[in-house]
Structure 1
Amino acid sequence: MDVMDWFARWYESQCDGDWEHGFGASIDTLDNPGWLLKVDLAGTECDGRILDRISHNYEHKLDWWTCWTEDNVFFGAGGPRQLRPLLEAFRDWATSVR
């Protein structure tokens, strides 16, 4: 399944009438330029899970990304062509065996 379809289905599966009102997911832009992915983990199967920072090509001007969790939120940030890798990193982490 394409990662965009997977993410849409993952989000939909979290929506229970409450979660989506207090929590959620967002994709925003960075000014360096790039993307910022934020996914609230409270109330999901990933609630309380930790991801120590992982990075790819972090020193590159455009072809970089990094992901981590902080305060029960998954964060992914990356260059302007790295939205798909950010979503893939979230999918890989979210579906990995604890």
Structure 2
Amino acid sequence: MNTLKWLQNWYLKNCNGDWEHSYGVKIDTVDNPGWSVEIDLTDTYLEDVPFESIEEERNEEDWFYCIVRDGVFHGAGGATNLEEILDSFKTWVLSLERS
């Protein structure tokens, strides 16, 4: 399953009539140029799960990082790195489901 479809399903699984009114997924652009991703983990099974931060800097345009801070998965990256950010979240979640 492609990453975007997987993320849609993850979001839908967490919508319970309450969660989606306060939390969700935000994907935005930034002016360097690049991407910013925030995925709320509060009130999900991921809320207290440790995440090993990722920092990948190949060059000035090809970079991304991902961290979890204050109950939110944060990712940022260059203009062509959005899929890598989302894949990092997906890989983390799937590794927990297999454990």
TM-score (norm 2): 0.91
Question: Structure 2: where are the runs of 5+ without partners?
Answer: none
Deviation at 1:50, TM superposition (A): 2.5
Q: So what's the TM-score if we normalise by structure 1?
A: 0.92
Q: How does 1:3-82 map to 2 (within 5 A)?
A: 3-56=3-56, 58=57, 60-82=59-81
Aligned residues: 97
1:59 positional shift: 5.6
Structure 1: stretches of 5+ with no match in the other structure: none
The CA RMSD over aligned residues, in Å, is 1.3
CA distance in 2, matches of 1:25, 1:77: 14
Whole-Å separation in 1 of the counterparts to 2:80 and 2:18:
33
**Deviations, residues 4-37 of structure 1 (Å, cap 9, x unaligned):** 1000111111111100001111001111110011
Identity %: 39
- 2:88 alignment partner, SS class: helix
After TM superposition, where is structure 1 displaced by more than 3 Å over at least 4 residues in a row? none
